[in-house]
Amino acid sequence: MKKGKQIYEGKAKKVYRTDDQRFLIVSYKDDATAFNGLKKGTIEGKGVINNKMSNLLMQRLEKAGVPTHYVTELSDRETLVKKVSIVPLEVIVRNIAAGSFSKRYGVEEGIVFASPTVEFSYKNDDLGDPLLNQAHAVAMHLATTEEMETIKKYAFAVNEELKRFWAECGVTLVDFKLEFGRLADGTIVLADEISPDTCRLWDMKTGEKLDKDRFRRDLGGVEDAYTEVMGRLLQHI
């Protein structure tokens, strides 16, 4: 597969065309951002970890019945994916109160929910990615009712599979963000990435944060946390 022109650069990845219009190449960067890009920095080696972790977990999810955009890993930082039209929604699944949920609703971090929650935000940096509900998403033509139901079904399926897997690794899956896309025929598939950038991961015994919160909150040891969680994944995948 021949790598072509760069068509997009985001906060954590670059995207390139290929000589086959059905596929794209995603390249992961070490750049780190938080608070809608207000805080910026670098996490050495993050791109390699996020690329490999996302690919391994997406393959696991495929086997569990969740379709993804993953095709094959090309190198430490690059992956071939199916070309999708991204649904402009961030889908957040939460098992435990943390982060913006705790701040927004005045709920103490660490409170375990009786059942997982799902929320949606509109992917729009200029507006600060505002929360919206399913009716809003349909009214704004971001997705159809049927697509929203499919997205919710897949989001909860991802949660069950990943929560079980991370528990095997001695890690608690607190919450995570997903993005979905449409293939050329309209099929909804999981896209973007699954990594310490997009998941809150706490050590099951100590509660130590093993994710990007270490960068957001200036806790230090960011690279060590990413390396630690990747090491645990490789021992159990």
Token digits of residue 73: 């890993």
In the prediction, which pLDDT does 183 show?
98
Query: What pTM did the predictor assign?
Result: 0.95
Q: Say what the pLDDT of residue 237 is.
A: 87
Q: How high is the pLDDT of residue 194?
A: 98
**Residues 6 or more apart in contact with residue 5 via CB below 8 angstroms:** 16, 17
Find, among 30, 31, 23, 28, the residue nearest to 4 by Cα. Answer: 23
In the prediction, which pLDDT does 5 show?
A: 97
Residue type, 182: R
pLDDT at 64: 97
β-sheet bridge partners, residue 31: 42
**Pairing verdict, β 13-18 and 3-9:** antiparallel
Q: What is the pLDDT of residue 1?
A: 81
In whole angstroms, what is the distance from residue 88 CA to residue 180 CA?
8
Asked if residues 229 and 171 have their Cβ atoms less than 8 Å apart, the reply is: yes
Token readout for 170 is: 């001695």
Report the pLDDT value the prediction gives residue 34, as an integer from 0 to 100.
82
Q: Say how far apart CA 88 and CA 74 lie, in whole Å.
A: 27
What is the rounded CA–CA span in Å between residue 183 and residue 93? 23
Q: How confident is the model at residue 208, as a pLDDT?
A: 97
With contact defined as beta carbons under 8 Å apart, do 67 and 190 qualify? yes
Tell me the mean pLDDT per 10 residues along the chain, length 237.
93 96 97 79 94 98 98 98 98 97 96 98 94 98 98 98 98 98 98 97 97 94 96 95
d(CA 175, CA 171): 12
Strands (E), 29-147: 31-34, 39-42, 70-73, 78-82, 85-86, 89-96, 112-122, 131-132
CA distance 195 to 52: 9
- The residue type found at 114 is A
H or E stretch including 16? strand 13-18
Using DSSP's 3-state secondary structure scheme, residue 42 falls into strand
The pLDDT score that the predictor gives to residue 37 is 67
pLDDT at residue 35 in the model = 75
2 touches 24 (CB < 8 A): no
